[in-house]
């Protein structure tokens, strides 16, 4: 009986830990985990290597288009967020997805949170946020990374 109780306790602890990111967002944290931030150099290398599987790159802001990205526009606008949802409904939940806006630093961006939260709510499992901590120009374009 003691082993059974220990197993139940361990499973409860694991469940709480897995849910922590969701709770932290509701308590004022971000909807993404630290490991869901993708560095620009890593995405640029992936886009340049046509021999590997390419992620679906989604532009959710007013900035320029990274190579092969799909433009939805500012997801602070309901119609753009709805269009994104319709697009995502057609994708398998394990699709590699990279979101980016690039209009401004994360703390000021009105677009990344609604879009990332939508992916979380839709139970996608392989989505990341491009870590454009300043903006698209500084963190991507000025480094010569690929654009459309």
Specify whether 53 is located in the same domain as 66: yes
Specify whether 72 is located in the same domain as 15: no
Q: Is residue 65 packed enough to be buried (19+ CB in 10 Å), middle (13-18) or exposed (0-12)?
A: middle
Range of the domain at 11: 1-30
Mean pLDDT on 88-115: 95
In a domain, 51, yes or no: yes
For 6-57, what is each residue's pLDDT tens digit?
A: 444 444 444 444 444 444 344 458 999 999 999 999 999 999 999 999 999 9
- Asked if pLDDT for residue 128 goes beyond 70, the answer is yes
The model's pTM: 0.80
Helix H or strand E segment including 139: helix 136-139
DSSP characters over 98-110: EEE--SS-GGG-S
Quote the longest CA-to-CA distance of the chain: 62
> 126: pLDDT confidence band, cut at 50, 70 and 90?
very high
Q: In angstroms, rounded to a whole number, what is the distance separating the alpha carbons of residues 102 and 100?
A: 6
Specify whether 107 is located in the same domain as 48: yes
Please give the pLDDT value at position 16: 42
- The rounded mean pLDDT for the chain is 86
**Token pair 């870590």 in the structure block, residue:** 131
Specify whether 51 is located in the same domain as 10: no
Nearby residues of 78 by Cβ (< 8 Å), 6 or more positions away:
none
For 82-96, what is each residue's pLDDT tens digit?
A: 999 999 999 999 999
Which among 6-15, 73-82, 104-113 has the top mean pLDDT?
Answer: 73-82
């Amino acid at each position: 009986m003691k082993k059974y109780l220990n197993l139940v306790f361990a499973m409860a602890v694991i469940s709480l830990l897995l849910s922590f990111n969701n709770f932290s967002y509701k308590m004022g944290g971000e909807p993404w985990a630290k490991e869901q931030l993708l560095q620009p150099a890593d995405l640029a290398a992936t886009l340049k290597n046509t021999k590997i599987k390419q992620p679906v790159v989604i532009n959710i802001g007013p900035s320029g288009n990274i190579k092969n990205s799909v433009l939805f526009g500012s997801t602070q606008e309901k119609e753009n967020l709805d269009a994104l949802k319709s697009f995502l409904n057609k994708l398998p939940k394990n699709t590699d997805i990279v979101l980016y806006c690039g209009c401004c630093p994360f703390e000021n961006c009105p677009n990344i949170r609604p879009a990332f939260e939508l992916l979380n709510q839709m139970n996608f499992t392989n989505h990341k946020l491009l870590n454009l901590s300043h903006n698209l120009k500084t963190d991507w374009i000025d480094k010569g990374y690929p654009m459309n």
